[in-house]
């Protein structure tokens, strides 16, 4: 990748992290008793201002935007839109700052307005970042010449530049560190909340006992035992070929088992047909997405609700999916096959949720995605957990999965070898050396 795009992408990731902190603060603002953390807000607004004035935007405008706009008409139109969004930002940030000052003086007066404006700003920020990466970057790669890239990369690498050089970058980085350290939990990948540890509140929904399964003579599962409690996010991590997908397929009923038992919501489903399990509320998002390519995004969502007949509620759920995955709303008429990999992953998850499953099985949702999209997918999973959905998440990305899981298992060659709360496995020495590269 070009060095400039790499730098921009890193800055995006940091900004995304900041937007997650903002979102957390925004939620706290919903509580009429709680005064906002003014100091943290100030730091965040300073960060954004710095980003706009000195770090990110000026260079992006002067080099990348200019070059893309010069090359094609399509590029010129796209850049005009991005420039408009950049131009709005300083004023919105200044307004938020004023509103915050007023709110601190006259609390709780102005709380609702502040929260609403903040929410739409977060949305704007994220949409802008997503579009730069999913639309601007690909176009730039297509239309810019080697000479263009040389000029752009050289400009971005110039750290002596006083207006956006190394000095302002260092300031900017230290701001980010402070924000993330002072942020209320959970920040993006927060740790499991205490209340979720109360077993009474979370009866066992799925239990897999001593399960084995074969492909011919290969024994892919050798006595796996796991439990998923209602309302919990349970993760299964393990290397390539450990048997993760096989286990999920056995739970969905598309993989034959040769021993052991599977129990769901109090019923023995070890030998139930896959359709029966879907009707009971088990839904798997398969590895590699598998959306219906020729159908539109919205038709794919409707298909997800095929077991349901409640038309109005289906429409409401579609709206909910658009709130959870704004990019799908933008593309609702587009053929699913034309979406990017990350977007298809989101569609596959949304389609599964349309069936209102009692248990959602996710098979490596982050596989093959760019870092920013991985973050976005994990944010959605965190939100599902907050909504009280029950999720069984299979991941090779152990760091991310363990840091959001209420409970987790480690699988090696068809056997679970470790289990415990996600936060405990995250600091387990064995896990650290085998899966986290620490
Ligand atoms: N269709 C198949 N035929 C024969 N062997 C298979 C088949 N599918 C999987 N296996 C074998 O079963 C074992 C478990 O595979 P599985 O796909 O469940 O692993 P996984 O943990 O999901 O790996 P990955 O992270 O690569 O998705 C592996 O040894 C694999 O080679
Ligand atoms: Mg797999």
Angle at 100 between CA 97 and CA 105, to 5 degrees: 130
Q: Is the CB of 251 under 6 A from ligand 1?
A: no
Is 285 in the same domain as 210? Answer: yes
Give the ligand whose atoms come closest to the C-alpha of residue 411: 1
189 SS3 class: coil
The 10s digit of each residue's pLDDT in 256-270 is 999 999 999 999 999
Q: Do residues 13 and 128 both lie within one domain?
A: yes
Looking at the structure, do residues 313 and 410 belong to the same domain, yes or no? Answer: yes
CA dihedral for 73, 74, 78, 81, sign (positive or negative): positive
Q: Are residues 30 and 101 in the same domain?
A: yes
Assess whether the C-beta atom of 306 lies below 6 angstroms from ligand 1.
no
Please tell me whether residues 333 and 309 are part of one structural domain.
Answer: yes
In this prediction, residue 190 has a pLDDT band, given cuts at 50, 70 and 90, of: very low
> Structure tokens of 74?
């399509």
User: Among the listed ranges 108-112, 394-398, 415-419, which one has the minimum average pLDDT value?
Assistant: 394-398
Q: What is the CATH number of the domain that holds 61?
A: 1.20.120.520
Q: Are residues 30 and 95 in the same domain?
A: yes
Beta-carbon contacts of residue 17 (< 8 Å; ≥ 6 apart): 176, 180, 187, 188, 375
Residue with tokens 């263009």: 148
Interval 96-142: pLDDT, tens: 999 999 999 999 999 999 999 999 999 999 889 888 888 899 899 99
pLDDT of residue 308: 83
Position of tokens 């959602």? 360
Q: How far apart are CA 297 and CA 173, in angstroms?
A: 39
Residue 194 has pLDDT above 60, yes or no: no
Of 158, 182, 206, the one marking the end of a domain is 182
Q: Do 143 and 259 share a domain, yes or no?
A: no
Q: Mapping DSSP to helix (H, G, I), strand (E, B) and coil, where does residue 391 land?
A: strand
Q: What is the mean pLDDT of residues 48-63?
A: 89
Please indicate whether residue 191 or residue 71 has the higher confidence score (pLDDT): 71
Q: Do residue 281 and residue 234 come from a single domain?
A: yes
CA of 415 to the centre of ligand 2 (A): 15
The Cα 206–Cα 20 span in angstroms is: 31
Instruction: Provide the number of structural domains found in the chain.
Output: 2
Same domain assignment for residues 335 and 238 = yes
More confident residue, 210 or 291: 210
Within-domain flag for 189: no
pLDDT band for position 54 (cuts 50, 70, 90): confident
With a cut of 70, say whether residue 48 has pLDDT above it: yes
- Residue whose Cα lies nearest atom 6 of ligand 1: it is 215
Number of residues written out for the chain: 438
- Whether the CB-CB separation of 182 and 40 falls below 8 Å is answered with yes
Query: What value, to the nearest 5°, has the Cα angle with vertex 368 and ends 2 and 344?
Result: 110
Higher pLDDT, 251 or 130: 251
CB distance 246 to ligand 1 below 6 Å: yes
What pLDDT is attached to residue 437? 65
How far separated are the first and last CA of the chain, in Å rounded? Answer: 26
Considering the domain architecture, whether residues 171 and 41 belong to the same structural domain is answered as yes
Which of the pair, 94 or 369, is modelled with greater confidence?
Answer: 94
Give me the mean pLDDT over the 196-202 stretch. Answer: 63
pLDDT for the residue numbered 220: 96
Give the single-character DSSP code of 186.
P
DSSP assignment of 51-83 equals IIIIISHHHIIIIIIHHHHHH-HHHHHHHHHHH
241 CB less than 6 Å from ligand 1? yes
Whether the Cβ atoms of residue 327 and residue 343 lie closer than 8 Å to each other: yes
* pLDDT of the residue at 164: 66
Cα 283 to Cα 407: distance, rounded to the nearest angstrom: 20
Which of 212, 213, 214, 215, when mutated, tests ligand 1's pocket best, judged by the most ligand atoms within 8 Å of its CB? 215
Which one is predicted more confidently, 191 or 286?
286
Residue minimizing CA distance to atom 2 of ligand 1: 215
Q: Is residue 291 part of a domain?
A: yes
Q: Does residue 232 surpass a pLDDT of 90?
A: yes
Give the pLDDT mean for 320-347: 91
Q: What is the CATH number of the domain that holds 222?
A: 3.40.50.300
Task: Confirm or reject: Cβ of 243 under 6 Å from ligand 1.
Answer: yes
Among residues 182, 207, 236, which one ends one of the domains?
182
For residues 231 and 165, the model is more confident at 231
Q: Are residues 50 and 147 in the same domain?
A: yes
* pLDDT value of residue 191: 37
Other beta carbons within 10 Å of 188: 20
The mean pLDDT of 193-221, rounded to a whole number, is 82
Share the mean pLDDT of the chain. Answer: 88
Q: Would 239 be classed as within a structural domain?
A: yes
Residue, of 316 and 175, whose pLDDT is higher: 316
357 lines ligand 1 (CB under 6 A): no
User: Mean pLDDT over residues 204-223, rounded?
Assistant: 96
Read off the pLDDT band of 185 (50, 70, 90).
low
The atom number, within ligand 1, closest to the CA of 216 reads 4
**Distance between CA 278 and CA 258 in Å, rounded?**
21
10 — pLDDT class (breaks 50, 70, 90): confident
Residue 215 Cβ inside 6 Å of ligand 1? The answer reads yes
345 lines ligand 1 (CB under 6 A): no
Query: Ligand 1, atom 17: nearest CA belongs to which residue?
Result: 245
Mean pLDDT of 397-421: 92
Q: Considering the domain boundaries, does residue 188 fall inside one?
A: no
Contact 220 CB / ligand 1 (< 6 Å): yes
Decide if 187 is inside a domain. Answer: no
Residue 392, helix vs strand vs coil: strand
Instruction: Determine the average pLDDT of the residues in 175-183.
Output: 76
Same structural domain, 242 and 273: yes
Which range, 80-84, 168-172, 397-401, has the best average confidence (pLDDT)?
Answer: 80-84
Residue that finishes a domain, picked among 182, 213, 246: 182
Domain span at residue 209 reads 194-435
Residue 238 Cβ inside 6 Å of ligand 1? The answer reads yes
Residue 414 lies inside a defined structural domain of this protein? yes
pLDDT confidence band for 188 (50 / 70 / 90): very low
In-domain check, residue 284: yes
Does the structure show a pLDDT above 60 at 160?
yes
Tell me how far the alpha carbon of residue 243 lies from the centroid of ligand 1, in angstroms: 6
pLDDT at 195: 42
- Ligand 1 atom 14: residue of nearest CA: 243
Helix spans in 51-165 (H): 57-59, 66-71, 73-106, 111-131, 137-143, 146-157
Cβ 280 vs Cβ 358: under 8 Å:
yes
Which pLDDT band, with edges at 50, 70 and 90, does 145 fall under?
very high
């Amino acid at each position: 990748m070009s060095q400039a795009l790499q730098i921009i992408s890193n800055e995006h990731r940091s900004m995304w992290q900041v937007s997650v902190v903002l979102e957390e603060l925004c939620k706290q603002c919903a509580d009429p008793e709680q005064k906002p953390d003014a100091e943290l807000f100030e730091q965040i607004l300073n960060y954004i201002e710095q980003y706009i004035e000195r770090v990110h935007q000026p260079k992006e405008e002067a080099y990348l935007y200019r070059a893309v706009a010069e090359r094609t008409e399509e590029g010129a139109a796209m850049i005009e839109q991005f420039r408009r969004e950049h131009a709005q930002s300083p004023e919105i940030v200044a307004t938020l700052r004023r509103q915050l000052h007023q709110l601190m003086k006259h609390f709780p007066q102005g709380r609702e307005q502040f929260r609403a404006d903040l929410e739409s700003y977060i949305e704007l920020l994220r949409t802008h970042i997503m579009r730069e990466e999913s639309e601007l970057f690909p176009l730039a790669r297509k239309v810019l010449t080697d000479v263009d890239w040389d000029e752009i990369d050289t400009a971005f690498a110039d750290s002596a530049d006083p207006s956006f050089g190394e000095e302002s970058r260092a300031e900017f980085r230290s701001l980010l560190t402070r924000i993330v350290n002072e942020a209320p939990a959970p920040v993006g990948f927060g740790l499991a909340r205490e209340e979720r540890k109360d077993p009474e509140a979370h009866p066992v929904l799925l239990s897999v006992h001593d399960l084995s399964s074969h492909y011919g003579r290969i024994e892919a599962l050798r006595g796996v035992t796991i439990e998923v409690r209602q309302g919990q996010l349970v993760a299964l991590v393990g290397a390539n070929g450990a048997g993760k997908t096989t286990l999920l397929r056995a739970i969905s009923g598309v993989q034959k088992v040769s021993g052991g038992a599977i129990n769901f919501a109090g019923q023995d489903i070890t030998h139930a047909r896959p359709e029966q399990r879907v009707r009971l509320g088990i839904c798997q998002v398969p590895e590699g997405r598998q959306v219906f390519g020729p159908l539109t995004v919205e038709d794919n969502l409707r298909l997800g609700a095929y077991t349901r007949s409640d038309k109005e509620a289906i429409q409401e759920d579609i709206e909910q999916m658009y709130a959870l995955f704004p990019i799908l709303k933008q593309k609702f008429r587009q053929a699913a096959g034309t979406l990017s990999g990350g977007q298809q992953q989101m569609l596959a998850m949304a389609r599964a949720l349309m069936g209102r499953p009692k248990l959602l099985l996710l098979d490596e949702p982050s596989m093959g995605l760019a870092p920013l999209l991985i973050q976005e997918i994990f944010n959605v999973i965190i939100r599902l957990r907050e909504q009280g959905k029950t999720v069984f998440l299979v991941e090779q990305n152990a760091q991310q999965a363990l840091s959001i899981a209420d409970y987790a298992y480690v699988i090696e060659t068809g056997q679970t070898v470790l289990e415990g709360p996600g936060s405990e496995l995250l600091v387990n020495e064995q896990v650290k050396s085998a899966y986290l590269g620490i």
